[in-house]
Structure 1
Amino acid sequence: MCGEAFPAHAREIKLSTWNLDWLSLKETGDPALPDDVHGRKPNDFVRLRKYATHLNADIIAFQEVDGPEPAARIFDPQTYQIILSQTPIIQRVGLAVRRPLTVTVNEELSALDVTGPEASHHLRTGLDVTVSDGTEHLRILVIHLKTGCWEQPLNQRKHSCPTLYQQFQILEDWIAERQDEGEPYAVLGDFNRRLTMHDPLMQQIEQDAPVLLATAGKASPCWGGEYFIDHILLGNQARSWLIPDSLRVMTYRNDTLPDGLSDHCPVSVRLHLP
């Protein structure tokens, strides 16, 4: 998918990640939805689209979206190219990229689905794309990792943790490849982990490649305050592109409950391209 390059003077981009919380056109009671997940009402899409317009990001990594049609109801297709993972599950990851940035879709990181081929419920794969403004390019990996292992130590071998640890090893391999190739990259999405630079999982990544965790040392104001599980990692030259103190979390003004919206808030940074 191609378009014209950005004008030469437009050298700043806003990069965001947003989990849209089971965004689907399916109705309440549909067997594809869990019993405790309600279908979205038309006004929910209207409200979310207004927040997406207010977010006004150039590149939005999104999670938990059931195909291109619900995504297009949030991100105006006249403004954004919409790319989704090809995994046939309801919780897909994707990317909305402002036109006329150009997008090259790379091979999906299917290894993140560590379940066996006969599993009844599959995990999310990683969406791997390269975005260019005509001069510089940024390799982007959009992820949504296994939930339930928020901050447990590496010797925790119960429940979700072994799965998350396995996914992090795959993520480390992808980062190591980008480090070897020397291209600027970003990994962003729902890590389902309260990452800090002291987390042993982050320390393992740091052994292979120096990365910048944009959310490090910060707390999120989303829904009254919580630890970040949505993160933005920057590597290679992209680390120096981060505009200092540009981390932002868009909260839902005048909305006191996430009903019909999302239990996650968009997390953003700004990058200055050289």
Structure 2
Amino acid sequence: MRVMILRLALLLALLFSLPATAAELKLASWNIAWLTLRSAELPGDVTPRDAGDLGLLAGYAKRLGADILALQEVDGPQAAARILDPDRYAFFFPAEDDVQRTGFAVRHGLRVRQNPDLAALDLRPRARFSLRRGTDITVETASGPLRLLSVHLVAGCRDATLSQPVDKCESLARQTAILAGWVAARQREGVAFAILGDFNRAIAGPQDELLRALTAEAPLTRATEGFSDPCWASPRGARRFIDHILLGGPARQWLVPESLRVLVYEERDPRMRARLSDHCPLSVRLR
């Protein structure tokens, strides 16, 4: 009898240890396109969302079911709470007052600390529609800390070389150097890390100047490599990704193979892009 009890106790101990050793985290990124409660501050060509629009977005957020969601173009915790359940998620946003902000929603139960903003990414902090700071957090996992950076880089240099003598490409080149410094710091620490968000850059391959500058500081795995973006695909086919998830350090080994997913909207009417978002959520799983 005693032997049976001991075996049962050992079996239970092994079962309870499984979540710590084999747990998965769903890591996602979503640019929700001008999600704000301050409709008076929207540009003239942006239509404020109504309750129905927010309900649709909330439904997609629930279906996404991310453990950690990097956000872009969200106006702080109150706006995030309109589509993400605050009973399920804690929100983290940078110390700025812009309508468009990066941020994170992290499932309650995960231990998180917010690090100083990567404020240098906002090259024009005094502009009416300034560029965006990076939101920097650390999530404690069973395998060690995971440092995460949510970014939304300058638009207008999707394909051109960063050395082009135009304002947008010069700005992206400056932001790239700032990101490279952040990557170098994480590499020195030896920590698992990821950069997620809207890069506004169709990275064609490892020779892309932005990616090459980052990988010069540390090896990176780009989850979107080799895939096309099915979000709002036209009859001509899918588009190239401008949203990316870059994994560095031990996080590269945590990536579950073939786990990249894009949650495509069921609505097909092109007019719905303004009511939902011109970006779809993308996600990977880390084990």
Using the size of structure 1 for normalisation, the TM-score is: 0.92
Matched, 1:187 2:195: yes
Of 210, 215, 220, which residue of structure 2 is paired with 1:201?
A: 210
- Which has more radius of gyration? 2
- Count of aligned positions: 263
CA deviation string 1:171-194 (max 9, x = no partner): 000000000110000000000001
Matched, 1:76 2:88: no
| Contact 1:197/1:216 (<8 A) preserved | no
Q: Which residue does 2:240 correspond to in 1?
A: 227
- CA–CA distance in structure 2, aligned partners of residues 178 and 15 of structure 1: 19
Which protein is richer in helix relative to its size? 2
Q: Which residue does 2:181 correspond to in 1?
A: 173
CA deviation string 1:100-142 (max 9, x = no partner): 0011000110010112x65444210000000113552210001
For structure 2, the 5+ residue unaligned runs are 1-17
Q: Which residue does 2:113 correspond to in 1?
A: 104
Q: Which residue does 2:15 correspond to in 1?
A: none
Cα offset for 1:68? Answer: 1.2
Cα offset for 1:148? Answer: 0.7
What is the alpha-carbon root mean square deviation over aligned residues? 1.6
Decide whether aligned partners of structure 1 residues 237 and 21 sit closer, same or farther in structure 2, where only a CA change above 3 A counts: same
CA deviation string 1:212-234 (max 9, x = no partner): 11111210100012110000000
- CA–CA distance in structure 1, aligned partners of residues 286 and 273 of structure 2: 29
| Contact 2:30/2:69 (<8 A) preserved | yes
| Contact 1:25/1:40 (<8 A) preserved | no
Matched, 1:85 2:100: no
- CA–CA distance in structure 1, aligned partners of residues 86 and 123 of structure 2: 32
For structure 1, the 5+ residue unaligned runs are 1-5
Cα offset for 1:203? Answer: 1.2
| Contact 2:162/2:172 (<8 A) preserved | no
Cα offset for 1:84? Answer: 1.1
Q: Which residue does 2:7 correspond to in 1?
A: none
2:239 is matched by which residue type in structure 1?
E
Decide whether aligned partners of structure 1 residues 118 and 249 sit closer, same or farther in structure 2, where only a CA change above 3 A counts: closer
Q: Which residue does 1:59 correspond to in 2?
A: 68
- CA–CA distance in structure 2, aligned partners of residues 140 and 229 of structure 1: 18
Does the residue aligned with 1:189 lie in a helix, a strand or coil? strand
- CA–CA distance in structure 1, aligned partners of residues 160 and 282 of structure 2: 24
Q: Identical aligned pairs, as a percentage?
A: 47
| Contact 1:26/1:39 (<8 A) preserved | no
Using the size of structure 2 for normalisation, the TM-score is: 0.88
